[in-house]
Structure 1
Amino acid sequence: MNKHGYNMSRRGFCLCCLGGATFATTGGWLTPSQVFAAAKSLVVQIREAAAAADITTTNLRGGISALSGSGGNMGVLVGDEGKVLVDAGITATRPRIEKALAELGSQPIKHLINSHWHFDHTDGNEWLNSEGAMIMAHPNSLKHLTVATRVVDWDFDFPASPKGALPTKLMEGDEETLKFSGQTIALRYYGPAHTDSDISVFFQEANVVHVADTFWNGVYPFIDYSTGGSIDGQINAAEANVKMVDDQTIVIPGHGEIGNKKDLIAWRDMLVGSRENIAKLKKDGRSMEETVAAKPTEKWDPVFGNWAISPALFTRLVYEGV
């Protein structure tokens, strides 16, 4: 890991070397968008990293596995009726995703569920649709994928997705239930959280849930204010996740290692405590620079501060939203 807190690891995509020179010459007092703009586009870096990434398969239970290494963690249900995927990874990883899926069985891909609209979870939509997957998502995912969408804190403008990459089946309410290969698949909309399009996907008989970017296990998260996310929404989603699971539930995070209820509680407590500390400093009149210098997340940095989003950058993200 470099001194600014960005490193490459097996926990999903790489955000290494962001803003190195600019960070040094400015003393580190950058907004989130300035950090990302200081180096080659974050999105380009992630796609380039994915092109060389290995795909790791973790077999869970009930015919469900997790694939990691291509953007966000993917979930896969394999049954007699075919395969259901949660999230699509990044297109550049297609050959290795195809190999991993083939090793899980010869069943065809029938359904793809997008947990939210972000590219590291939907970039593979078009090729998976071409393989026969019907794409399902919350209406807000379709909204963002259909039009050009700017993420300010990534300093990036995403063009509208091609027709073949768009979800064609949308949730009609905040909850929806599907039946597939002996599994009851419960979808639940969080409301605005990481974005305004986040849903959980719960395989009930297996007691396995994919909560996507409402949970980054062991790492600080990115919060997308441009498309409806907020620190308060992240906390609300974290509370909902803790209530949704029991001690035996296997939890697939958007990024990080496979987790459980204990991990969800630690994540929620970190979000709540960080928000409280940062909000107090801001209320007391501290600038963003002064707030970062006060190290309000220091208590949690040894666990959560060793990956893509450094403690300083996470502090800036929370500061934006309190």
Structure 2
Amino acid sequence: MLCCDGKVFMCRLLWLCTQQCWAVPGVLQWSGPGSYTVGTMSERFDCHYCRDPLQGKKYVQKEGRHCCVKCFDKFCANTCIECKKPIGADSKELHFKNRYWHDSCFRCFKCYTSLVNEPFMLRENNKVWCSNCTAAEDAPRCKGCFKPIIAGDQNVEYKKMVWHKDCFTCSQCKQVIGSGSFFPKGDDFYCVSCHEHKFAKTCAKCKNPITSGGLTYQEQPWHSECFICSNCKKQLGGKRFTAVEDQFYCVECYKECVAKKCAGCKNPITAGFGRGTSVVNYEDESWHDYCFKCTKCARGLANKRFVCHNGKIYCAECPKRL
């Protein structure tokens, strides 16, 4: 696998100087892809560089020139990009995009596995990586264990952060949250149970945590389903109600079960719910303020002098006319 500009291609590395063949009868040569040949000189030739005779000796022919092995290594050999040493005529050479390696140097930069005839990635600084190390290096890192999350791993993502599924745990009880529900608090994460015990408000009635919704009455929190009419059991959230001795009543139940009956009109006295907000009390009876009036002249008597005669209410003048 050869990689260039971030793309991956399947290919095979080219081997130079590894195949034995007989190019000329009586001369053993090593053939590469047109770069040079190696053999034993049977004719009278001198080294192109040092002028030593080559007959009967191993030589290298490159670009029409014959040279001894020593001069080839010094003047002609490619330099291994990994170890920076010449790749001699007797060495196996690998190349890719004008880069050269000894076959023994062509190893993964990370795990040192030989990559001869194996998939690889050429990365920065001309370092080669195996496919496994490349995948691990480029993979996102788990915020819990800081190890790479590779393809196939189950993971949890939240606000551009990622965890292995088993690394995403409750900050309080340390149990795995995984893909379950959780509550974030700053840099911490809590399972539902721990969040309820640590942060949730407690209902004034049932004393259990309020995890969502709820309401407040007189600075006390309530579950919506706990804040109900004491008589009909209907929820009172968002509705008109009245409180009597720590009991709550909707308007209808208050009128029917709790409110006093007006001695004048015989209807419930529901101060704050209807016409009139004042109540007149006399002895054991009560009136709406607008119902407390003279029996004879019908003058309103709330906050005024009145006379009670034979169980009836009169203004101060009317009893004189009786």
TM-score (norm 2): 0.18
Higher Rg: 2
Name the structure where strand makes up a greater proportion of residues: 2
Query: TM-score, normalized by length of structure 1?
Result: 0.18
Q: Which one scores higher on RCO, CA 8 angstroms, separation ≥ 6?
A: 1
